[in-house]
A and B are shown apart, each in its own frame.
Chain A
């Protein structure tokens, strides 16, 4: 058994980088002041927060006064959606457009709004897991308040036509929000060039600490607050700033955006290597478009295999990955993302997501590829479903 832990679940979270930790430490130790305090210790913390704000603004291509620090990506999504809904309802606009495979931090606030009388259009993502920009254009109505489409999908890694959608929204005068939690550091994002009005991101997906996110809001819009209280974040988001995490996020985002090309140049060959090797296994499917996906992501379904068992077998070999099977989601239905691209339940249950980071090495990939075919064969040898499949007794995939 391998002693080393091989971490291939970077879409779930990432390790804090040495550079980020180094930048954070002074604010956990001697620089612990509250940025709202008037004395030097407080002022220094406030300067650190504003420095991080500048780093975020530079990375996103926006102004510093358009950056708001939050506690996580989910808070950013909730604020953007609930805030815009409230803002635009006052103007008689209560229609929102999204896609069927958004993160739950987007879908669940929308479900709550539907109960309050808002109308939501859920666009399809087709078999390749990509929204069609023309579908967005066709869905926009005079009462459309918001379009919210994720930049890249968290499970299957497919990249959405965000610049095209941004241009459509600009032309039609509709606010455009994107959840870029997964895309940040993987694709080039510039909110002004791509006509993005609001963007959510999270630090812990790019080697910063958990518990810190950002919502960029175009200064044209003044969203009602999600969290009321103190005057932090220019009276827009109350709560004492998580100074060390904000400092870390600033450094992490600067690093992540500067290194996109070198990271992708490193990960693309690894992605190709995994793809070529895994597709040699009998009755395996790639989930999501082969080309229009982040270099860090692969998502496969193995017929006759259940995802949680697959993850536990990999774990026994020291490898951490993820699955969209029902058993790993805490519910009894498989992932809504896998169902949205047309996978039958039977195949969605047998999914495996591999997500790499800039720290992923070829040796780690080789270790995965060494054990994966054996694990699949082992699980299939004990699977009554596999027996049915090879006898042709069950469903056929399209």
Chain B
């Protein structure tokens, strides 16, 4: 299996790693059984994501996708962040091996889950804005 240089760079030097003490939205997706968990922390000020941190348990691709995803949404509006697709994450990393595409899905979902949490904290129902975030366990842990 071959990772791109970009993936290896984000794996070896992950950006925005850690936690945010007073996050305005926190989202955690994935599960330990499948072997990857991503947790995103967002600081949002006036509808702009002013800071973002992440923690990931998972393979090289899981770490790289979460790292680059944080870069892609930092400084962006909440609306723009909601538009981030897993495909854009894959492209930004110069591609991922087919078996690792689910990691990019997880990165997209981690951001959406954190944004849903942000809306909930504002007293706004996130479902019409963020949509329903489904676990993609059908491709995984088939026992």
| Residues of A participating in the B interface, judged by any CB pair closer than 8 Å | 304-306, 308-309, 312, 316, 325-328, 330-334, 344-346, 349, 382-388, 394-395
Contacts and interface: CB of A to CB of B under 8 A. Distances in A.
Contact of B55 (A327, A334, A384, A395): A384
Nearest to A304: B57
Interface in B22-47: 28, 32-39
Nearest to A311: B60
13 contacts: A305-B57, A312-B8, A325-B35, A327-B60, A330-B99, A333-B141, A334-B35, A382-B63, A384-B39, A385-B32, A385-B37, A385-B57, A388-B32
Contact of B57 (A306, A316, A326, A330): A306
Max chain B C-beta neighbours (<10 A), residue from A304, A316, A332:
A332
A384 B12 contact: no
Max chain B C-beta neighbours (<10 A), residue from A344, A385, A388:
A385
Interface in B60-83: 60-63
Closest A-B pairs by Cβ, 10 of them: A327-B59, A308-B59, A385-B57, A383-B57, A346-B32, A349-B35, A384-B39, A332-B140, A345-B33, A384-B37
Contacts of A326: 34-35
A384 B38 contact: yes
A397 to B, nearest CB: 12
Nearest to B58: A306
Interface of B: 1, 8, 11-12, 14, 17-18, 28, 32-39, 55-63, 99-100, 102, 139-143
Given A332-B140, A387-B55, A306 B36 contact: yes
Contact of B33 (A306, A330, A346, A383): A346
Nearest to A329: B99
B55 A383 contact: yes
Contact of B59 (A325, A333, A394): A325
Contacts of A384: 28, 37-39, 55-57
A394 B32 contact: yes
A181 to B, nearest CB: 23
Contacts of A327: 35, 58-61, 99-100
Nearest to A389: B32
B85 to A, nearest CB: 22
Contacts of A394: 32
Max chain B C-beta neighbours (<10 A), residue from A306, A325, A346, A383:
A306
A333 B143 contact: yes
Contact of B35 (A312, A345, A387, A395): A345
A382 B14 contact: yes
Contacts of B58: 306, 309, 327
Given A382-B17, A395-B32, A309 B59 contact: yes
A332 B38 CA distance: 17
B59 A345 contact: no
Contacts of A383: 37, 55-57
A345 to B, nearest CB: 4
A387 B54 CA distance: 13
A387 B19 CA distance: 11
Contacts of A316: 12
A309 B60 contact: yes
B11 A345 contact: no
Max chain A C-beta neighbours (<10 A), residue from B18, B32, B61, B99:
B32
A343 B18 CA distance: 29
Nearest to A316: B12
Max chain B C-beta neighbours (<10 A), residue from A304, A349, A382, A383:
A382
A346 B34 CA distance: 8
Nearest to B35: A349
Contacts of A388: 32
Nearest to B14: A382
A325 B100 CA distance: 14
Nearest to A349: B35
Contact of A309 (B11, B17, B33, B143): B11
B103 to A, nearest CB: 9
Nearest to B37: A384
B34 A332 contact: yes
Nearest to B60: A312
B46 to A, nearest CB: 28
B73 to A, nearest CB: 18
B135 to A, nearest CB: 13
